[in-house]
Structure 1
Amino acid sequence: MRVRIIEIATAEIGVREATGNNDGERVEVYLAYTGLGKGHAWCAAFVSWCYAQAGFPEPRNAWSPALFPNARTYCRGNACRDSKTSVRIKPADVFGIYGYGAKRINHVGLVQGIEPNYILTVEGNVENRVLAKRRHLSTINAFSNWIE
Structure 2
Amino acid sequence: MKLRSKALAIAQSQIGVQEIPKNSNAGPAVEKYLKSVGLGKGYAWCMAFVYWSIKSASIELNVLNPLAKTAGVLDMYNKMAKLRVTTPQPGDFFIMDFGNGTGHTGFVEKVLDNGKLQTIEGNTNDEGSREGYEVARRYDRKTSQMKGFIRF
Q: What interval of TM-score do these two structures reach, taking the shorter chain for normalisation?
A: 0.7 to 0.9
Of residues 36-45 and 62-71 in structure 1, the stretch that sits farther from structure 2 once superposed is 62-71
User: Which one of 106, 109, 112 corresponds to residue 112 of structure 1?
Assistant: 109
User: Which one of 6, 9, 12 corresponds to residue 7 of structure 1?
Assistant: 9
Which residue identity is paired with 1:33? Answer: S
Which residue identity is paired with 1:133? Answer: R
User: Which one of 69, 72, 85 corresponds to residue 63 of structure 1?
Assistant: 72
Of residues 137-146 and 117-126 in structure 1, the stretch that sits farther from structure 2 once superposed is 137-146
Q: CA RMSD in A?
A: 1.4
**Any gaps of 5 or more consecutive residues in structure 1?**
76-84
Stretches of 4+ aligned residues off by more than 3 angstroms: none
Q: Residues 16-55 of structure 1 correspond to what in structure 2 (within 5 A)?
A: 16-19=18-21, 20-55=23-58
Sequence identity percentage: 32
Q: 1:105: how far off? A: 5.2
User: Which one of 122, 130, 137 corresponds to residue 135 of structure 2?
Assistant: 130
Which residue identity is paired with 2:146? Answer: I
Q: 1:58: how far off? A: 3.1
Instruction: Say which SS state the counterpart of residue 12 (structure 1) adopts.
Output: coil
Q: 1:42: how far off? A: 0.5
Q: 1:12: how far off? A: 0.2
What is the distance in 2 between the residues matched to 1:6 and 1:71?
Answer: 21
Using structure 2 for the length normalisation, give the TM-score: 0.81
Write out per-residue CA displacement over residues 56-110 of structure 1, whole angstroms, 9 at most, x where no aligned residue: 42323211112223211123xxxxxxxxx3xxx211111011113x2x4510111
Residues 3/48 of structure 1: CA separation in 2 closer, same or farther (3 Å cut): same
CA contact (8 A) 2:91 2:107 kept: yes
Of residues 57-66 and 30-39 in structure 1, the stretch that sits farther from structure 2 once superposed is 57-66
- Give the total of aligned pairs: 132
Could you tell me which residue of structure 2 aligns to residue 92 of structure 1? 91
User: Which one of 46, 51, 73 corresponds to residue 84 of structure 2?
Assistant: 73
